[in-house]
Structure 1
Amino acid sequence: MRHVRRRTVRRVTRLAAVGGLLLGGAMVTQAAMASEPGGTAAAPRSAAESVVTNPGTALVKKLGTSRTAGTWLDADGRPVVAVTDEETADTVRAAGAEAKVVSHSMNELKSATDTLRSAPKVPGTAWVMDYRTNQIVVQADSTVSATNWSQLTQTASGIGSFVRMERTTGEFTTRINGALPILSTGGRCSAGFNVTNGTNDFILTAGHCGPTGSTWFADNQAKQQVGQTVNSNFPGGDFSLVQYASGKAGAGADVVAIGNGNGVRITGTGDAAVGQRVFRSGSTSGLRDGEVTGLDATVNYPEGTVSGLIETTVCAEPGDSGGPMFSDGIALGVTSGGSGDCTTGGTTFFQPVTRALAQLGVQLIVAAPSDNAGASTSSADPAPSASSTQAGLSPGAASPGTTTPVTATGVSETLAARLTDPRNIGPGLLVIAGSMVALVATRYFRAEQDRKAYQRHYSATWG
């Protein structure tokens, strides 16, 4: 009976060891497959899928610049179109939008800005079309002298009474010093949005952050290199591309950080609308919100003039430059500059994302459609609508977008965490090693028992 029990134990041990080898091999194979980068985690979305933030824009384009003077969203999110005559107003109302009859057409407003642009440049000044009042607003910060202000006022008076002059507090400056911080010898900026050309991935950020060739790091010791600026536009525009040192953005490429370990999943691009509530994230002041007050703004920074910007009431501070502006998960702009701070408030200008993408020949990296359904959404921040338009949503009800944890990179893990991670091959290798030990042990014990049995038989034969 004792021999039978031993044979049974050896047989069970061998079967368990063989099973362990098979299980360990399967675990290693699964871990290797899991470690491969997912093919559906993020995907570039073409410009044709841009979200329409204001349907009134299509009406303005159809009716022409001689009969209209801009469009904006009212408090309920309905499009309002400025028109120059009642006949055009009836056409707008028939299309389902509200019409407001004004005195000056878009052609007149553009002519006024052309005159301002041709005048001698005065650093610290800016102008923007105010669609809602049918005026051109000219602003001058605290650095503009009384003499320059007087000359600028004379230029404005020659244009017409629809040019409004305003003095502002603070200074119009770029915000050097996505929302995560990136650092170079030129200062600190914020990462904007991740983009791709189909082969390599890049960070879209502000052009004034650094010229082509600037090297960026994620730490003050310059040990964690992020990448290098390969294309920069400033002044004129204010955008640049930082190519990742590794060539790829990695996990979480479709997410922008908003603080406290959270981020917003970016699902598409769009053009900002006057009256729209927007959100900005930056490495200095975090997540802030405000309203779009003007489009096609021109700012005369000390470094040069930038045109085509979005004017907002969102605050910003040094270091926020390049950070992303968005609403309901739709990428709208990257931070350029402005006046004031997040204590006293102020004006901040943004480079439109759609214009930068078109000039750079890249596409935004966004969540793949199959991933959107599984994104975690906070109760306070509803997920972006699947519709290709945001019309009908009141500006006050807008949210940053679908929230999700920010993927950390370069964070050290404990040995236990690595071994229990199903994506690692450690557990599978341990199972294989244990099974091999069990097989060797059973083989050794069997050989030892056979040797002793032979000794007993030999002794009995010669005894």
Structure 2
Amino acid sequence: MKHRRITKRRTAIAGAAAAAVVGAAFTLQSATATPAPPRAADLLSAPAAAKLASSVTSDLRGDTAGAYYDTEARKLVVNVVDKAAADKVREKGAVAKVVQHTLAELKEARTTLSDKATIPGTSWSVDPRKNKIVVTADRTVKGGKLRKLDTVLDSLGSKVALQRTSGEYRPFVAGGDAITSGGGRCSLGFNVTVGGEPAFITAGHCGKKGSEWSADGAAIGAMEDSQFPGNDFALVKYSGDAEHPSAVNLYNGSTQKITKAAEATVGQKVKRSGSTTQVHGGEVTGLNETVNYSEGTVEGLIKTNVCAEPGDSGGALFAGSSAVGLTSGGSGDCSAGGTTFFQPVPEALEEFGAEIG
């Protein structure tokens, strides 16, 4: 098993996209005045907000404390810890929000959690809206495990917040299109090319290097690489001469064309396609999530409120024509809802030297 590699892209996202923006213009008005509607030129799309977040956090470096996208106001909100940084943020066209904790303080708290609270059934990531690390514990965290977790959280004070989920964190093994190997079923993520040769990416926990894969009863290829835990991605090289369109199955007789890979942004609207529950939508709620499955810890995941179930593993998380993530695991189901985690696609492509297509 390969050790997880921290890429430059993920490091940038941990600083830039770990922030969120809540829109509200800081313009003084009289008590009776009616606020003027925002100009179309001042509104940002989710991709534009992600690009601006990267630029702002890069320029201000340690003076920012995360950012997020306010979907209703269509603005980028950047957390800062002093007035001087707030002025710089506004000059760049984003909304400044003065908060208590710096990213360095939250990073130190994450290190403490990793050292002292790596307990199966827990996860955590920075929530830029709350300026805290939100730690989630599933239903298996009780008794001595819960007491241990509470002790660590108490030591971190206002930098952390605990929430519980009634489900149980597990990889979704059991699917866009269904793919099978050795009696197990997962879902194909995205078709890619490696050195001009066709392949696809899926979840690493779905199978081991060298495993043979089939679709609709026909052999389609062998797994060239698989990484789990640490990461959760795998590469399967196609065999044969069949067509491999760069598209996601929408399970309504049509497909969504995929033209590129993109980083996720907190607040972004996304959809997931899998062979068990087909297509469901929701929102990105966290980035750089650390998830402690019983099989081991996976870091750097995307957290969403999109539902998924066993067999959806490896399936596509996308936003329009952009490939965003590969279904990893989570809790709940598509009847009651739940939390689902996704391996970011750009990191998998970088690791394999692959391109969407």
So what's the TM-score if we normalise by structure 2?
0.84
The AA in structure 2 aligned to 1:234 is F
Structure 1 unaligned spans of 5+: 1-50, 366-463
2:64 equivalent to 1:68: yes
The AA in structure 2 aligned to 1:313 is N
Residue 126 of structure 1 deviates from its aligned partner by: 0.6
Residue 153 of structure 1 deviates from its aligned partner by: 1.1
Assess, with a 3 A threshold, how the Cα gap between structure 1 residues 316 and 198 changes in structure 2: closer, same or farther.
same
Match of 1:355 in 2: 347
Residue 159 of structure 1 deviates from its aligned partner by: 1.9
Greater relative contact order, per chain length (Cα 8 Å cut-off, separation 6+): 1
CA deviations on 1:298-336 (whole Å, 9 max, x unpaired) are 000111100000000100011000001111211111100
State the SS of the aligned residue for 1:152: helix
Counterpart Cα distance in 1 of 2:119 and 2:283: 27
Q: 1:264-283, aligned counterparts within 5 Å? A: 264-283=256-275
CA deviations on 1:229-258 (whole Å, 9 max, x unpaired) are 110110000000011122x6x435211101
Counterpart Cα distance in 2 of 1:191 and 1:291: 21
State the SS of the aligned residue for 1:109: helix
Assess, with a 3 A threshold, how the Cα gap between structure 1 residues 307 and 186 changes in structure 2: closer, same or farther.
farther
Larger radius of gyration: 1
2:220 equivalent to 1:226: yes
State the SS of the aligned residue for 1:91: helix
The AA in structure 2 aligned to 1:70 is G
CA deviations on 1:18-57 (whole Å, 9 max, x unpaired) are xxxxxxxxxxxxxxxxxxxxxxxxxxxxxxxxx6551222
State the SS of the aligned residue for 2:114: helix
Q: 1:3-402, aligned counterparts within 5 Å? A: 54=50, 55-64=52-61, 66-74=62-70, 75-177=72-174, 179-185=176-182, 187-219=184-216, 223-246=217-240, 250-251=242-243, 253-365=245-357
Assess, with a 3 A threshold, how the Cα gap between structure 1 residues 331 and 53 changes in structure 2: closer, same or farther.
farther
Counterpart Cα distance in 2 of 1:145 and 1:213: 39
More strand by share: 2
Structure 2 unaligned spans of 5+: 1-46
State, as a whole percentage, how many aligned pairs show the same letter.
Answer: 48
- Spell out structure 1 runs of 4+ moving beyond 3 A: none
> What's the C-alpha RMSD, in Å, of the aligned pairs?
1.4
Counterpart Cα distance in 2 of 1:81 and 1:241: 36
State the SS of the aligned residue for 1:107: helix
Residue 120 of structure 1 deviates from its aligned partner by: 5.0
So what's the TM-score if we normalise by structure 1?
0.65
State the SS of the aligned residue for 2:158: coil
How many residue pairs match? The answer is 309
